Amino acid sequence: MIYFDNAATSYHKPEKVYDAVIAAMKTAGNSARGVNEASLSASRILLSVRNKIKNQFNAFSASNVIFTSGATESLNMAIFGLVKDKSNVVTSVLEHNSVLRPLYALSDKQLRVSYVKPQLSGEIRLEDLQELVNENTDVVILTHASNVLGRVNDIEKIGAYLKQRDILFIVDASQTAGLYDIDMQKMNISALCFSAHKYIMGAQGAGVLILNEGVHMKPLKYGGTGTDSYSKNMPTVYPEALEAGTVNLSGIASMGAGLDYIEEYGRQNIKDDTDKLVKKLVDYLASNDRYIIYGTDDYDNRTAVVPFNIIGMDSNKISDMLFSKHQICVRSGAHCAPLCHEFLQTVNSGIVRVSFSHFNTEQEVDILIKALEEIIGE
Amino acid sequence: MNNIENSTEKSAQNLYVFVVFNGTMDAINFEECIQNNGFSGRLIPVPFEISAHCGMCWMEEIKNQSRLEEFIEKQGLSYKKIHVMEY
């Protein structure tokens, strides 16, 4: 089987990620539940990963690194926690349902939500965003890179503008964390959300919400923290205030191991490796007018996704043919990004999305190209 | 160091210093920082005499109290309160 759906989840993991999961399961108890070696071991793992994340993303403080079950939970926490009644929110048509559905769920709060449209490349330009921002705008929610189109947005430029206007900036970095440098201070990000299992190459079921200095929110979940047990309220200090219940320790440990691996291998080396694969496939697709390629050709600002269609074919059928005949896994359909497909006018066909990991090889891309040639009958 | 509560006037026998924290992360961070600095203490569940809430604190020998307080100050370690009492 050839796996090309890394934008959904990484499949090939660094060995140290597997080792970290097993080690956490074999050595750790439940953090902050008692003071014994098993519990302390869990707490030490959490502290170690919090510190790594703080350093990697230049978070304000390790205690503002909140562990979640993934980017969806992080975004739900940020949106339900920071968007107030009658908030004026600006977001984009590129957003995933993990942003859109929480906003729809808040429709009884009399929100005013505006959706900025990108360029066809997938780039959200500051000037287009500025047209929607007004004196009442209090929250902007943007993806760092669309999971469909892969264009990386200039969130540093956007963040600087929003800081001037004192507007909260929630960033969905699901597609970029691990692949691109993200500096919360430099980019003026109020709340950064991502999962462990995509380009950090950790396990599924773990993610992070990082809050910047002075960003406070009510919790989404209430429950035990191992502290202040007789209080009817959640603790007010981070991370406990937002981490009710038992965290996914082995998943979090895997995230730490993934970050270690990225540091050792080199983030730029990972990017260079995936760029080669992207370029090889894009060059092939561009050589034949039976294909429509979506998104950007800017290699300095793109993730490892290649979105395309075969003219006149249903994307789901293409993905089925690729898997059933060639054991190649790709993603087709709507990618949980309905407004993006409305924008691209691909609601009726969907899009085939190939997304690489640096563990993929050029030989695997050759096999994909051969399979596509067979499908288009050449 | 004005967060110090001396809850006993008894002799130094069995007296310990207890550093209580605002949260678990601060406690684990404290443990990590204090290691290999000549202290003999350890993290323990917070004694009920200090608080009935769950949580952990650092228990240190009384003879190290001054050095411990200096260390905390110098390292800028976060804590909630320091108690001195029998254990």
In tens, the pLDDT along A10-41 reads 999 999 999 999 999 999 999 999 899 999 99
- Is residue A261 a contact partner of residue A16, using CB atoms and an 8 Å limit? yes
Average pLDDT of every residue of chain A: 97
Instruction: Detail the DSSP E strand segments found in chain B.
Output: 4-6, 15-20, 42-45, 56-61, 81-86
In tens, the pLDDT along A121-178 reads 999 999 999 999 999 999 999 999 999 999 999 999 999 999 999 999 999 999 999 9
pLDDT of B8 > 90? The answer is no
Neighbours of B33 (CB within 10 A): 14
The verdict on a CB contact (< 8 Å) between A237 and B22 is: yes
User: What's the pLDDT at A93?
Assistant: 98
pLDDT of B3 > 70? The answer is no
In tens, the pLDDT along A192-236 reads 999 999 999 999 999 999 999 999 999 999 999 988 889 999 999
What number is the average pLDDT over the span A314-343?
96
The verdict on a CB contact (< 8 Å) between B25 and A44 is: no
Nearest of A98, A138, A84, A147 to residue A114 by alpha carbon: A138
The tally of domains found in chain B comes to 1
Any idea what the Cα angle at residue A73 is, between residues A68 and A78, rounded to 5°? 100
Per-position DSSP letters for A49-63, written without gaps between them: HHHHHHHHHT-S-GG
| 8-state DSSP, A45 | H
The verdict on a CB contact (< 8 Å) between A228 and B53 is: yes
Domain that holds residue B75: 4-86
| Residue A5 buriedness (CB in 10 A; 0-12 / 13-18 / 19+) | buried
Angle separating helix axes A267-286 and A362-376, nearest 10 degrees: 20
Whether the CA torsion A219, A221, A223, A226 is positive or negative: it is negative
| Partner-chain residue, chosen from A34, A35, A63, that has the shortest CB–CB distance to B25 | A63
- Does B86 touch chain A if contact means CB atoms closer than 8 Å? no
Query: B45 contacts in A (CB within 8 Å)?
Result: 34-35
- Does A32 touch chain B if contact means CB atoms closer than 8 Å? yes
Whether the CA torsion A121, A124, A130, A135 is positive or negative: it is positive
CA–CA min distance A257, chain B (Å): 19
| Partner-chain residue, chosen from B22, B28, B45, that has the shortest CB–CB distance to A44 | B28
Angle separating helix axes A71-82 and A97-105, nearest 10 degrees: 30
Cα(A159)–Cα(A252) distance, integer angstroms: 28
CA–CA min distance A225, chain B (Å): 9
- How big is chain B by its Cα radius of gyration, in Å? 12
Nearest of A274, A206, A299 to residue A12 by alpha carbon: A274
Q: A43 to chain B: nearest residue by CA? A: B28
- Does A9 touch chain B if contact means CB atoms closer than 8 Å? no
Examine the predicted complex and report whether its ipTM is higher than 0.85.
no
The verdict on a CB contact (< 8 Å) between B28 and A63 is: no
Q: Which two tokens stand for residue A308?
A: 């395309």
Chain centroid offset of residue A314 CA: 27
User: What's the pLDDT at B15?
Assistant: 95
User: What's the pLDDT at A167?
Assistant: 98
pLDDT of B1 > 70? The answer is no
- Is residue B30 a contact partner of residue B77, using CB atoms and an 8 Å limit? yes
pLDDT band of residue A241 (cuts 50, 70, 90) is very high
Instruction: Detail the DSSP E strand segments found in chain A.
Output: 2-3, 65-68, 88-92, 112-116, 137-143, 168-172, 191-195, 207-211, 291-293, 305-310, 328-329, 352-355
pLDDT of B73 > 70? The answer is yes
- Does A107 touch chain B if contact means CB atoms closer than 8 Å? no
In tens, the pLDDT along A42-87 reads 999 999 999 999 999 999 999 999 999 999 999 999 999 999 999 9
pLDDT band of residue B9 (cuts 50, 70, 90) is low
Nearest of A159, A156, A153 to residue A175 by alpha carbon: A153
- Does B52 touch chain A if contact means CB atoms closer than 8 Å? yes
CA–CA min distance B19, chain A (Å): 14
The verdict on a CB contact (< 8 Å) between B31 and A40 is: yes
| Cβ contacts from A onto B, under 8 A | 59
Q: What is the CATH number of the domain that holds B80?
A: 3.30.70
The verdict on a CB contact (< 8 Å) between A35 and B31 is: no
- Residue with tokens 């409305």, as numbered in its chain: A342
User: What's the pLDDT at A112?
Assistant: 96
Any idea what the Cα angle at residue A286 is, between residues A343 and A311, rounded to 5°? 55
User: What's the pLDDT at A198?
Assistant: 98
Neighbours of B81 (CB within 10 A): 16
- Does A136 touch chain B if contact means CB atoms closer than 8 Å? no
User: What's the pLDDT at B52?
Assistant: 81
Per-position DSSP letters for A325-375, written without gaps between them: HH-EE-B-TTTT-HHHHHHHT-TTT--EEEE--TTS-HHHHHHHHHHHHHH
User: What's the pLDDT at A297?
Assistant: 84
**Helix, strand, or coil (residue A133):** coil
Query: A34 contacts in B (CB within 8 Å)?
Result: 45
